[in-house]
Amino acid sequence: MHLGLMCRSQRAQRRAQTDPAAAARHRRVYNGGNSRTGYTMLLFTLLLSAQFAPQSADLPNRQPQLATDGTRLVLTYGAGNSVFFAESTDAGRSWSKPAIVSSQGKLSLGMRRGPRIAMTPEAIVISAVVGEKGRGADGDLVAWRSVDGGRTWSAGKAINDVSSSAREGLQTMGAGGKGILFGSWLDLRGKGTRLYGSTSNDGGATWSPNTLVYESPSGSVCECCHPTAAVDAQGRIFVMFRNSIDGNRDMYLVRSDDGGKTFGAAAKLGAGTWKLNACPMDGGALQVGTDGKPLTIWRREGEVFLSAGPNLERRIGAGRHPILATTPRGPALAWTEGKQLKVVAPAQKVAATIESDAAYPSMVALSSGAVVLAWEQGGAIVVKALD
């Protein structure tokens, strides 16, 4: 497997010293400037890129997900029926050789289906939906854990306690205070699609009996949008999902204050609504801010919105598959518009295009304030650190 590390900003700076056209491009791309208006915004001061190339053309690398403990970076993605792991200990400047975590069964992969990763004090944990048949015919949410920094991995353990109830393949995992690790998934154990969850207090070694997180009064939540979970420093669990009530496909947020045993009433996010007789296949993202409050980003129709709660929303721009990461300077936002990857730096309001060919991005923030993104590109996974 080829892993190449490129420092594009340094090369661009050298070209800009001798090439006026390159200098103009450098100002627009790396400083976010608009040459027609004279507007200049400092976006990021450093860009480092790594590329994880596929092992073969018919097995593209897909669905990257990042996690961090503030200093270490970990990455997971899928290719074929295999789940991969890689680690960086220097803020994304270099990466370990990708290792196979598991190749058991048929991996649910694509359209936000794929592995998720979390870091706890005890272990690194990766979850994914796998089955004997795959393609929605069966599938369990399986978790693997590593207690030696990703060098070795445990055998997979099913989290859902009703066989094949996680076969839709859409799931999430979040870790936070009090050692809580929480997994949630779209569940098909009964009629309609419900949201179920399970908690681990020992870094994924054991999991609690499944808990019903939410069921729609209309019989089913949105069937093909992934949920997102986050755990704050106090151990409160937040889960965001796309609901389906009377034909409206809006985002909702639920919270547990008792470690995932019970969940309160679901609250609709944003001020508008989206009536749609289809699934948008776009679940957005959720983070707990430095103020301890949940912050969400999601799509309604063809637009991306940022929301901190019920009836609160701010339009960000046109696009889909939005993500965010919270930093001491404020949230960093990213989404795709067509194939372009748009980013809004912390404390800024104007987006810059950092890539012209990207899909299904993931993003985390380091304790230094640096932001790291990963995305699909031409069968490879690209990881870029923005400082």
What are the pLDDT digits (tens) for 189-226?
999 999 999 999 999 999 999 999 999 999 999 999 99
17: its two tokens: 């010293």
Under a CB-based contact definition with an 8 Å cutoff, are residues 303 and 297 in contact? no
- Per the structure, the complete domain to which residue 129 belongs is given by 3-386
Tokens of 383: 């990881």
pLDDT tens sequence across 72-114: 999 999 999 999 999 999 999 999 999 999 999 999 999 999 9
Q: In CATH, what number is assigned to the domain containing residue 382?
A: 2.120.10.10
162-180 average pLDDT score: 98
CA distance 74 to 83: 13
Please report the DSSP string for 108-159 in residue order: P-BTTBS-EEEE-SS-EEEEEEEESS-TTSS-EEEEEEESSTTSS-PPPEE-
pTM above 0.85, yes or no: yes
Query: Into how many domains does the chain fold?
Result: 1
pLDDT greater than 60 at residue 8:
no
CA nearest to 187, candidates 118, 251, 239, 236? 239
Tracing tokens 């809580």 back to the chain, one arrives at: 180
Residue 371's nearest CA partner among 68, 29, 3 is 68
Q: Among 30-44, 150-164, 367-381, whose mean pLDDT is lowest?
A: 30-44
Q: Is 66 helix (H, G, I), strand (E, B) or coil?
A: strand
In the β-sheet with 312-318, what is the strand arrangement from edge to edge?
Answer: 285-288, 294-300, 303-309, 312-318
Q: Which of 28-37, 43-52, 245-254 has the lowest mean pLDDT?
A: 28-37
Long-range contacts of 338-341 (CB under 8 A, 24+ apart): 341/373, 341/375
Task: Give residue 10's pLDDT.
Answer: 40
Cβ-proximal residues to 258 (8 Å cutoff; 6+ apart), any chain: none
Q: Which of 229, 186, 175 is nearest to 67 (CA)?
A: 175
- Rounded Cα distance between 96 and 85, Å, is 9
pLDDT band at 347 (very low <50, low <70, confident <90, very high): confident
> Residue 291 is encoded by which pair of tokens?
């103020």
208 burial type by CB count under 10 A (0-12 exposed, 13-18 middle, 19+ buried): middle
Round to the nearest angstrom and report the end-to-end CA distance of the chain. 27
CA distance 352 to 141: 37
Nearest Cα residue to 177 out of 237, 239, 263: 237
The residue-averaged pLDDT of 329-342 equals 97
Residue 352 Cα distances to 44, 83, 297, angstroms: 10, 32, 17
Q: Which of 7, 8, 32, 101 is closest to 348 using CA atoms?
A: 32
Contact yes or no for 283/243 (Cβ under 8 A):
no
Backbone angles phi, psi at 226, to 5 degrees: -70, 145
**Predicted local distance difference test score (pLDDT) of residue 251:** 99
